[in-house]
Each structure stands twice: as C-alpha cells, then as structure tokens.
Amino acid sequence: MSEGTAPETETTREPLHPAQDQLRVTEELTGIALEEHLCGVCTRVRGVGLHHIVFRSRGGHEGPVIPLCLACHSNLHAEGIWELDLLEDGMRIVEKETGEIVWRLMRWPFEGGPGEFVGLLDRVMEVERLMPQIAPALLPWQAAEAYQALKGVQDGGWRAQMHLVRELHDWRLPGRPPGERIEAICSLLGIRRSQVYSYLNVAKAFEGSSALDETPLGMSYLVEAAKTEEPEAWLRLAEERKSQHPSFSRDDLRQEIVLAGAVKETPKPGREETPAKVHVWGRCPDCGSIGWKEKLPVGSEGEPVQVKEYRAMTVIEP
C-alpha cells in the first residue's frame, strides 16, 4: 500500500434482527415485503407478532414469517380453521372445512414496486384498466393512499376505487363479521359506510358486465341503476337521457325508476309518507322537442297529479 493511501475496509451494514431477516425470507419466496408492525391479514396494529409459516415444531425457526394479530394467529394455529399456503406469486389462506380461499396477498405483477405505482396515479385511464390486477397486490397502506389519490380524479376514478373496496371486502378481512368488515374499510380508507355499500352493490349488480367499463356516466347513476332488477337496461336509459338533455341527473334517474315501479321505496318506521315532487320528461306536441317540464306533485300511488297546462304533454315512458 503506497504512503498516504487510506487502508481498504469492508463495507459494514447495520445487522438485521431476526424478525427482519425472516421477513426477507418471506419476500424472497413470495415477492411480498410485509410490514412488521401491521397484521398481514386483517390490518390490525395491536398485539402483532410473527407467525412462522413453517411451524417451529417442524423446523421453521429461520424460515418465512408473517406478522399477525392475536386473533388471526389463533385461527392459523387452531385445528380445522385456517391454513396458510405460500405460492410462487404470493400467499393465501384457505378455510380448512370448506376449502374456500378467504384471504390473499399477491406478488406485485409489474416492473417497479407498488410505491412507484402510487406515484403514477395521474395516469388514470391506465390505472382503471389495470386495477383488477393491481388491487390484489396492494398492502393496506398502499390501498388507502391509492384510494385517496383517486378522489380528485374525474371521468372514472370511481371504477378503480370500487375495485379496491371490493378486494378489501372480499379477500382481506377473513373471519370478521360483515359489520366489522365495513367498519374496517371505512377506517382504512376514511369513507362512510354508505360509500362502501354503494361500491359493493354496484360491483355485484354489474358483475361480469362490460357496462362498467363502457359507460360515460359517473358512479351516482350506477348506484341508482343497481337498485333495480335490470341494472344494465336502466343504465342504458340514463345514457340516452343524458345525451338528449345534459342536465339529466341522478335524481332524475331515481324519479323515473320510482315512477316505473322498478324499485320500491318504503318510508322509515315512524315517518309518514309525504307526496314527492318529480320532473316529467316529455315531448312537445307542437314542435316535437324533448325536455323537462316544471316539477309536479306526485300522488300517493306514484302517479303524476293531472295539472291543466301539462295535459298536452306526451310523457315518454322508460
């Protein structure tokens, strides 16, 4: 070594403690980097400890682990409740009695990590298209950030939000009663129960349909259409009405559905039913133009009350 040259030293790194080291083993096997402080299954933050995926009694001391709360940990150790499987593209929990998959967390399916995806949410159309593949691979905090970022998105950000909510509801909260699932999603995403139910109802009503991807209308119209037995037919009607009259609103669609008897709205207990007011959508007998007339009172049977100046209108039935 020449004079004045600093001696070579090995690069030193802060040593990993056992938990971190075993979480790294899990990541190498599944492609998923778990958060040590958060239950990997139900997102609880209290009582979180490490579950050895290969039980220590079977030689799994230094093998893969997953952070779990006490409740989820108990379900995996109890006889006949849950079984955790490691897959090449993620992990899943199967209910032993039925064989049904009750939870899943998948490997990130694209180049670049989930953090990079969260930073690219301005590419809205691509996010909408890819969300069914992306949602199963998002950790809870990533799902929450994605949902919040999509709030300000116009023209369809609701589609991606709906996929996130359904993924969390169907696959990320196993063993919890329906009410607790809804509360957990509300807490994680910072939204109301009514919003969660709206997303779930729309997803169920239009499952397997291309209408969700093709409609130019916003989420509010689909919420109303989902309340009927023929959601696609009512959505098509709403699209037609909107193209004819840009001011056609969600309330207008709801009124048409109620007048057609496609959905029954019953008053809450203890509250008397009062006549509502609706628009009448019709065609002028003189010039043939289509448009809305003034709001009219509606009788107890749901039929418009006859008013002199509107008798000449040809009401267009849905």
DSSP for 196-251 reads: HHHHHHHHHHTTT-SHHHH--S-HHHHHHHTTSS-HHHHHHHHHHHHHH-TT--HH
Please say if the pLDDT value at position 5 is more than 70. Answer: no
Is the CB of residue 62 less than 8 Å from the CB of residue 24? no
Which of 86-90, 91-95, 208-212, 213-217 has the highest mean predicted lDDT (pLDDT)? 91-95
Q: What is the pLDDT of residues 159-186, one digit of tens each?
A: 889 999 999 999 999 988 889 999 999 9
Token output for 227:
């309340």
Sign of CA dihedral 302, 303, 307, 311: positive
Report d(CA 297, CA 310) in Å as an integer. Answer: 12
Q: What is the pLDDT of residues 271-313, one digit of tens each?
A: 344 444 445 555 555 665 555 554 444 444 444 444 444 444 4
Domain boundaries, the chain: 17-105, 211-315
Report d(CA 141, CA 251) in Å as an integer. Answer: 35
- Nearest C-alpha neighbor of 40 from the set 133, 141, 166: 141
Please say if the pLDDT value at position 233 is more than 70. Answer: yes
Q: Is 208 exposed, middle or buried (0-12, 13-18, 19+ CB in 10 A)?
A: exposed
Minimum mean pLDDT among 4-13, 53-62, 122-131: which range? 4-13
User: Residues 190, 193, 196, 200: what is their CA dihedral angle, to the nearest 10 degrees?
Assistant: 170
Confidence of residue 121 (pLDDT cuts 50, 70, 90): low
Confidence of residue 268 (pLDDT cuts 50, 70, 90): very low
Report d(CA 180, CA 214) in Å as an integer. Answer: 33
First to last CA, the chain: 91
Q: What is the number of other CB atoms lying within 10 angstroms of the CB of residue 39?
A: 24
CA dist 17 → 23, 44, 55, 162, 240 (Å): 10, 23, 20, 39, 62
